[in-house]
Amino acid sequence: MSDRRSSPVVPIDQVPPAEKLEYRPVILVVDDESAIADTLAEILSRSGYASMAVYDGYSALETALVAPPEMLITDVILPGMSGVELAITMRRIYPECKVVLFSGQASTADLLSNARHQGHHFTLLSKPVHPRELLAHVSQCLKHPSRPTGAVAV
């Protein structure tokens, strides 16, 4: 015999209605440094976006399949799959997803060059990214539903 405790049941008419919330664009933040990913996601959340932080490309793809993002913000250097590979894959799955790339390493030039040869035109801004600058890029990118390159890099 199991020791089952019954939880109190609240009648449906006593459940408060959900607040009407404004639409919040979903942004997926990817960085293998959890402090950076978590901080950026928190900054975005406090600025009115629905943001999620993950720490590698494969987790980003799994998360995106459950909650499709309108924007991907990713470090270029990630374990297993580079941020550029992630961005290309994400754009194949969700062609309307905006992409923002950032990196603190000079070695990213080769990855970006390879992406350009495949027809993906990403630009890059170096870490650390000031929150005001990041928010300005996010806001600008999400205002414009279609961009010819499909990506903005920060």
Distance CA 63, CA 51 (A): 11
Token pair 């959340």 in the structure block, residue = 45
The confidence band for 144, taking pLDDT boundaries of 50, 70 and 90, is low
Closest C-alpha to 32, from 78, 82, 101: 78
The confidence band for 143, taking pLDDT boundaries of 50, 70 and 90, is confident
| Contact status, residue 102 vs residue 123, Cβ threshold 8 Å | no
Closest C-alpha to 98, from 122, 78, 119: 122
How far CA 19 is from CA of 15, 16, 48, 52, 144, in Å, comes to 12, 9, 15, 21, 28
Which domains, ranges and CATH numbers included, belong to the chain? 24-143 (3.40.50.2300)
| DSSP E strand boundaries for 4-136 | 26-30, 50-54, 71-75, 98-103, 125-126
79-123 tens-digit pLDDT:
999 998 999 999 999 999 998 888 876 666 666 666 676 776 665
What contacts 85, CB < 8 A, 6 or more positions away?
57
CA 75 from centre of chain? 10
